[in-house]
Amino acid sequence: MAFPMVRPLLVLTLFVALGAWAGAGSEGAQGSPLQPASEVSELQRRAEAGDLDAEVALGVLYEVGDGVAEDRAVAAAWYLKAATAGHAGAQVNLAAMYLDGVGVPRDPATAVTWLRRAAERGDTTAQFTLGTLFETGSETGTAAVKRDAAQAASWYRQAADRGLMPAQTRLARMYEDGRGVRRSRDHAAAWYRKAADQDDPAAQLALGALLGPGNGTRTDIVAAHMWLNLSASRWKDEALRRRAAGLRDALEARMTPAQLSEATRRSLEWQDTVGMRRR
C-alpha cells in the first residue's frame, strides 16, 4: 500500500540538514548546481567523525544522487547511524524508506517504530504520518499496521496543536465523522478554521459547507459564503473548484444583498491579510 499524501511531507525533511550544512552557496538536492566534490568530501569527513547533521545530510546526497552516485542502501545506513543516536530528522527519513521499501525491505511496522521515536521528540511530520498510518492501515503480511482511529486522532491532534495544516484538516474530518473521537461538528468547524486560515482549500470547502444551513452547527451564511468563495478561487482540481463554486452559488440564492456584500468584503479582507503574511 502506498502513502501518496505522506511521502511529500517526509521528502521535505530530506533537505533540512543538508541546507543548514551547505549554506547559501549551493541549492543542493533541490536544484542545481550539484554539491561540489570538495563539499561532499568535507561532509563525509564530518559524518565519519560523528556529526549527526552531517550523517543525515550525507544520507540525503546518497538518496537523491547529488554529488555522489545514487545509493539508497548507503543512504539508509547513514540515516540509521544518526537515527540510532536520536536525530529526529534521520528517524523520519529512515521511516520513509521503510514505508516505501527504498534502500531497505518494505516494513511499515519498523517505520512506525522510528516514527514514534521522532514523534515523541515533537516532530510534526512523524506525528502526522503516524496518524495517516493508523487511520488507513497497511497490510504487509506480518508487518501489517492495523487501523486504529483513536491512535490516528491522537497523533493528528499532537501535530495539529503544533500548527501542522494537514493534521488540522484530518483531525477536523475525524470530528465531523466521529472516527476515533466523539462526533462534534463544532470541534470539526474549529479545526477546519485553523487549517482554512492557513489557506487550505479543502478545509475552506469543508468549513463553508458546515457553516451553511442544516449541517448541525451554528449557521453563519455570510461566513459560509466567504469560505466557499475562497476555496473556489484556490482549487487547481477543476471538479473540486466546481463543487465549492456550486455550494457558494446555492447560498447566494438565499442571501440578502447586504449579506452578499458583507461576505465579499470579508473574503477580500482575508485575502489581503494572507497576502501581507506572505510578504
Are 72 and 97 in contact by the 8 Å Cβ rule? The answer is yes
Range of the domain at 2: 1-118
Task: Determine, yes or no, domain membership for 89.
Answer: yes
Task: Determine, yes or no, domain membership for 145.
Answer: no
Task: Determine, yes or no, domain membership for 257.
Answer: no
- State percent of the chain over pLDDT 90: 73
Task: Determine, yes or no, domain membership for 11.
Answer: yes
Among all chains, which residue has been given the C-alpha cell 556529526?
51
DSSP string over 53-65: HHHHHHHHHHHHT
Residue 274 has pLDDT above 90, yes or no: no
> In the prediction, which pLDDT does 33 show?
36
- The pTM assigned to this predicted structure is 0.83
CATH number at residue 78: 1.25.40.10
Confidence of residue 260 (pLDDT cuts 50, 70, 90): very high
Task: Determine, yes or no, domain membership for 25.
Answer: yes
Number of domains composing the chain: 1
Task: Determine, yes or no, domain membership for 140.
Answer: no
Distance between CA atoms of residues 77 and 94, nearest Å: 9
> In the prediction, which pLDDT does 35 show?
63
Task: Determine, yes or no, domain membership for 16.
Answer: yes
Task: Determine, yes or no, domain membership for 17.
Answer: yes
| Three-state secondary structure call for residue 138 | strand
Are 138 and 147 in contact by the 8 Å Cβ rule? The answer is no
Residue 182 has pLDDT above 80, yes or no: yes
The whole-number average pLDDT for the span 96-113 is 93
Residue 217 has pLDDT above 90, yes or no: no
